[in-house]
Amino acid sequence: MAAVDDVTAAELLSWPVGVEGELERRIAHLLCHSLADEGISDDLIDTLDEVLSDRPGPAAPGRKIDALLLRWGLPVSRRPPEVEPLTAEDAARIIDRFRRATRQLTQVVAHRVAVYPTEELRLLLALRDEQPSPAQALSYLRRYALAILAVLDLMGDDA
């Protein structure tokens, strides 16, 4: 970004705005929509949060060694969080939501970025066409959610 001194800024601001300049401003204003205006709703954001958050399962039984470590002021051993399995109905609902979002994003992204994100959209379309097994549904949905987030991040939001 170039710095402009006060004299140059005053001169630029004093230039009259012609019909072409006003038309350009109106077009720029109309093109600047928020993601919500483009159909990217809070429902999609909630679904992304649902998929990417740890889905808490039943509480793991406490271990005696953990109690001893805590009593001595030592850190408890790290275990990966238990994840509740994804039901077939939840997986189908989320897959449907992500596929609708993919359709919206492919229509909108070209108008929202300076450089077309070819690689990100290729990954998004490949994930849309993938048919995961029920055992792989959660990892598939997490990969899909990250691909959607990558495209949303490139698009930004001016709201």
Supply the DSSP string of 65-107, one letter for each residue: HHHHHHHTTPPPPP-PPPBPPPPHHHHHHHHHHHHHHHHHHHH
Supply the DSSP string of the chain, one letter for each residue: -----HHHHHHHHHSPP-HHHHHHHHHHHHH---TTTTT--HHHHHHHHHHHS--B-SPPPP-HHHHHHHHTTPPPPP-PPPBPPPPHHHHHHHHHHHHHHHHHHHHHGGGT-SS--HHHHHHHHHHHH----GGGHHHHHHHHHHHHHHHHHHH----
Give per-residue pLDDT as tens, 13-45. Answer: 565 555 556 666 665 555 544 555 555 677 888
Residues of the chain with pLDDT > 70, as a percent, come to 53
Q: Which of 43-52, 75-84, 86-95 has the lowest mean pLDDT?
A: 75-84
Domain boundaries, the chain: 86-159
Give per-residue pLDDT as tens, 105-131. Answer: 998 888 888 888 999 999 999 999 999
